[in-house]
């Protein structure tokens, strides 16, 4: 295996010169740099990444923190982020915050200690104020996903959660449904609160009384969507439609309805939010509100890379993305 001394000998330069070329710091003539790079290529020399990080105080990496790894939604986000980092020749360091505020804080601090050049945080649990305070403690840029925070110095990317949930509700109301159950995302998360608030607001605007018996707080997983329907039916709740605040819970709800002998959408209409790939292939296919997760991830990765390179950034800090209704087979006009 070739060493840095072999590169020095082949290029006819000192170890300090080779180090400056590898770490891209200090002044080196173009001819000398080319000679070193050619020697490295010919010898198959691979620089020590840890040594580089210590020398430059940078791991040439960006960090990504997700609340969980399950589900195609986060798989899409991770895939898009990895593509962007690879294209920029950056390492992507990924951490799981375990769906907790403390986990988000710990992951950010750990990635900073790993000398990441920028950190992307998909935040569900930290408050806006906590995120502002966290940013103030960091020496690297922080890009916040799943939130839009109007604050100079904070860079955030988020979906219009209330708009997305309202779209789904308006679709069900337009079909004549007035007994609409809601399977909410966790209400200790910003997303869960906003989507549930839109459900309540749309009921009020339509003159329909809110009925707590038609609500269930899920955990964004299919099992909780299934459990919600079991609860509704065992308690003999009357409903003709279900708004599930994400697609996984909607798919779980559809399974339970099927097992109880109810037809979708003849007996019960079901709509989700997110437009995960499975939504188009379920039977019946799931009506949903599509969120542009790929575009949000692409844009946020590009900004994180620009911040990592200390490039000048426009003053716009909060980037907002709208949902789009996708009507498929799981929703139809109310029959009563």
Decide: 93 and 62 in contact? Cβ < 8 Å: yes
**How much is the pLDDT for 311?**
64
Decide: 247 and 326 in contact? Cβ < 8 Å: no
Mean pLDDT on 118-134: 92
In three-state secondary structure terms, 64 is: strand
> Is it the case that residue 121 has pLDDT exceeding 60?
yes
Residue 138 and residue 174: Cα distance in Å, rounded? 48
Task: Give Rg (Cα) of the chain.
Answer: 25
> Is it the case that residue 90 has pLDDT exceeding 70?
yes
Longest dimension (CA), the chain: 87
* Topology (CATH level 3) of domain 61-160+293-322: Rossmann fold (3.40.50)
Taking only the tens place, the pLDDT of each residue in 150-196 is: 876 789 999 999 999 999 999 999 999 999 999 999 999 889 999 99
* Topology (CATH level 3) of domain 4-56: 434 Repressor (Amino-terminal Domain) (1.10.260)
Decide: 124 and 189 in contact? Cβ < 8 Å: yes
**How much is the pLDDT for 50?**
47
Q: Could you give the residue ranges of the DSSP H alpha helices within the chain?
A: 4-11, 15-23, 30-43, 49-56, 72-87, 101-113, 128-137, 161-174, 190-205, 222-234, 247-259, 293-308
Q: What letter would DSSP give residue 158?
A: E
Mean pLDDT on 288-300: 95
pLDDT higher at 6 or 58: 6
**How much is the pLDDT for 54?**
46
Residue 151 and residue 142: Cα distance in Å, rounded? 13
**How much is the pLDDT for 72?**
81
Task: Name the range with the highest mean pLDDT among 36-50, 148-162, 286-300.
Answer: 286-300
For domain 161-291, which CATH number applies: 3.40.50.2300, 3.40.50.150, 2.40.30.10, 3.40.120.10?
3.40.50.2300
Q: Which phi and psi angles does 93 have, rounded to 5°?
A: -100, 125
pTM: 0.80
> Is it the case that residue 295 has pLDDT exceeding 90?
yes
Where are the CATH 1.10.260.40 domain residues in the chain?
4-56
In three-state secondary structure terms, 75 is: helix
Give the other-Cβ count within 10 Å of 259's Cβ.
12
Where are the CATH 3.40.50.2300 domain residues in the chain?
61-160+293-322, 161-291
> Is it the case that residue 22 has pLDDT exceeding 80?
no
**How much is the pLDDT for 313?**
61
Taking only the tens place, the pLDDT of each residue in 259-284 is: 999 999 999 999 999 999 999 999 99
CB-facing half-sphere around the CA of 288: CA atoms within 13 A:
25
């Amino acid at each position: 295996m070739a060493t840095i001394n072999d590169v020095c000998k082949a290029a006819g330069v000192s170890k300090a010169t080779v180090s400056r070329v590898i770490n891209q710091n200090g002044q080196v003539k173009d001819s000398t740099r080319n000679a070193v790079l050619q020697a490295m290529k010919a010898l198959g020399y691979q620089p020590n990444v840890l040594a580089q990080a210590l020398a430059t105080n940078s791991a040439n990496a960006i960090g990504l923190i997700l609340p969980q790894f399950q589900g195609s939604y986060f798989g899409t986000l991770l895939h898009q982020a990895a593509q962007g980092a690879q294209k920029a020749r950056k390492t992507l360091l990924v951490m799981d915050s375990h769906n907790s505020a403390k986990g988000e804080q710990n992951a950010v601090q750990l990635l900073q200690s790993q000398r990441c050049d920028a950190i992307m945080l998909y935040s569900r649990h930290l408050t806006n104020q906590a995120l502002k305070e966290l940013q103030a403690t960091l020496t690297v840029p922080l890009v916040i996903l799943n939130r839009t925070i109007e604050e100079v110095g904070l860079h955030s990317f988020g979906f219009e959660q209330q708009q997305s949930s309202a779209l789904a509700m308006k679709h069900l109301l337009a079909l004549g449904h007035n007994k609409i159950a809601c399977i909410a995302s966790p209400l200790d998360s910003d997303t869960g609160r906003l989507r549930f608030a839109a459900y309540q607001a749309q009921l009020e605007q339509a003159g329909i009384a809110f009925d707590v018996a038609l609500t269930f707080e899920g955990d964004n997983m299919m099992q909780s969507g299934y459990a919600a329907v079991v609860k509704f039916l065992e308690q003999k709740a009357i409903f003709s439609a279900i708004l599930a605040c994400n697609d996984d819970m909607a798919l779980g709800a559809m399974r339970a309805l099927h097992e109880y002998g109810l037809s979708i959408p003849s007996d019960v209409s079901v709509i989700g939010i997110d437009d995960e790939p499975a939504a188009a292939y379920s039977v019946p296919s799931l009506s949903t509100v599509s969120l542009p997760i790929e575009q949000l991830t692409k844009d946020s990765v590009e900004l994180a890379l620009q911040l990592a390179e200390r490039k000048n950034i426009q003053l716009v800090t909060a980037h907002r993305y709208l949902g789009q209704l996708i009507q498929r087979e799981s929703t139809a006009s109310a029959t009563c």
